[in-house]
Amino acid sequence: MTTANDLQLNDRGQLRHFLSVEGLPQALLESIMDTAESFASVTEQTVKKVPLLRGKTIVNLFFETSTRTRTTFELAAKRLSADVLNVNIATSATTKGESLLDTIRNIEAMHVDMFVVRHAQSGAPHFIAHHVAPHISVINAGDGRHAHPTQAMLDVFTIRKHKGDFTQLKVAIVGDILHSRVARSEIHALRILGTREIRVVGPRTLLPAGIESLGVKAYYDLDSGLEGVDVIIMLRLQRERMNGAFIPSEHEYYARFGLTGKRLAQAKEDAIVMHPGPINRGVEIDSKVADGSRSVILQQVTHGIAIRMAVMSMAMRHDSGEKMA
């Protein structure tokens, strides 16, 4: 049986693919964040480019629609001087009956160097990584409920900037944990970085079976879940969850689990509020909190570019063993 790490790390422990945060060494996560830090300055210059991936072709393969993730991946690739091709498969070949493997084979034949994959099925990037030519790197941009590793990395990067030492931190992740690939990847990243306490907060219908086995405490009540935390990560509540009998109404959800100024007072005074976006104002979070002084939601978006530059450049140097400039 191959583990994710047999697939995503080379024999020197460097990133070949970035499929999941789970099981990665702490030093690698720190190295991704350090590399992102070095790129943060690039994005502030007038010429926002470095030539690291010049001549490389990166394909954004989005089998599920996305704006934020796709555009930040695209910007990150362009700032590394790569050529970028956006393939929106949600409206393309697979709807005509082409198999996933055939789609991959066809694009692979165009001599590309990296796939950035978003797919509605958990494990799709693993499947692709198993079947692509050895020189191609696969970056998971979100698969089903499984993983969204770059989102988790930009989140811990944001936390590190604000809070520093993870071993002193209490972090609460609030909302629809069941369907959230972001939550799963965040939990792995926070654990690997030694976070003191990780909580998940939501109604039982939205917390998956055996979630405690990931090393978190489950809370079914927002007030107690937020008590004394340093970081609050709110998750988006998808409207279609109402149809699946997960919750009775947006109104009741907001009343019980919406983050308001009053609820925020349960957390530490300097607690930060995060959200992977897109946010539903008045469903999971009050506008006053989303736009308030404790919110770092827009910083997350900015950090997303630096993190994705870091991951792409690190994954692309695996084959040559080149040192980064």
Partner 1 sequence: MSQRIRIHGGRVIDPASQIDGPLDVFIADGRILALGNPPDGFEADLDIAANGQIVGPGFIDLSARLREPGYEHKATIASESLAAAAAGITTVCIPPDTYPIIDTPAVIQLIQDKATLAGKLRIQPIGALTKGLNGQDLSEMSSLKEAGCLAVSNAMAPVSNTLVLRRALEYAASHDLRVIVRPEDKDLADGGCAHEGPVATRMGLRGIPYAAETVAVAQVLALIEHTGARVHFTQLSSARALRSIARAREKGLPVTADVAIHQLHLTDAAIEGFDAHYHLRPPLRDLSDRDALRDGLRDGVITAICSDHQPHEPDAKLDAFPATEPGMAALQTLLPLTLELVASGVLTLAQAIASLTSGPAAILGISGGTLQAGAVADLCLFDPQRPWTVNGDTWLSAGHNTPYWGQPLKGRVTQTFLGGVRVFELDAR
User: What is the contact surface with partner 1 in residues (CB under 8 A)?
Assistant: 1-4, 7, 22, 99-101, 119, 121-124, 126-127, 131, 143-147, 181, 184, 208-211, 213-214
Instruction: Give the Cα separation of 318 and 217 in Å (integer).
Output: 37
To partner 1, the closest distance from the beta carbon of 2 in angstroms equals 5
d(CA 279, CA 286): 10
Report the residue number, 186 or 230, with the smaller CB distance to partner 1.
186
Looking at the Cβ atoms of 233 and 305, the one nearer to partner 1 is 233
* 7/301 with CB nearer partner 1: 7
271 backbone dihedrals φ, ψ, rounded to 5°: -65, 145
Which two tokens mark 296? 């770092």
∠ CA(26), CA(27), CA(31), 5° rounding? 120
Q: How far apart are CA 3 and CA 307, in angstroms?
A: 24
Looking at residue 166, its amino acid is F
- Encoded tokens for 126: 């693993």
**Least distance (Å) between residue 66 CB and partner 1:** 17
| Minimum CB–partner distance for residue 97 and partner 1 (Å) | 12
Smallest gap, in angstroms, from Cβ of residue 220 to partner 1?
Answer: 17
Q: Are 138 and 123 in contact (CB under 8 A)?
A: no
- Residue with the two structure tokens 């405490």: 217
**Structure tokens, 279:** 């946010």
Contact 92, 114 (CB under 8 A): no
CA dihedral 315, 188, 276, 125 (to 10 degrees): 50
Least distance in Å: CB of 100 to partner 1? 5
Looking at the Cβ atoms of 97 and 321, the one nearer to partner 1 is 97
- Measured from the CB atom, is 182 or 306 closer to partner 1? 182
State the nearest-atom distance from the C-beta of 58 to partner 1, in Å. Answer: 21
d(CA 138, CA 141): 9
Q: How far is the CB of 64 from partner 1 (least distance, A)?
A: 12
How far apart are alpha carbons 217 and 197 in whole angstroms? 8
Within 8 A by CB and 6+ apart from 237, the residues are 175, 176, 247, 250, 253, 280, 283, 284
Nearer to partner 1, 109 or 209 (CB): 209
Residue with smaller CB distance to partner 1, 124 or 232: 124
Pick the closer one to partner 1 by CB: 208 or 301: 208
Cβ 138 to partner 1 shortest distance, Å: 13
Name the helix (H) or strand (E) containing 75.
Answer: helix 68-79
Report the chain's C-alpha Rg in angstroms: 19
CB-nearer residue toward partner 1: 14 or 94: 94
From the CB of 309, what's the least distance to partner 1, in Å? 26
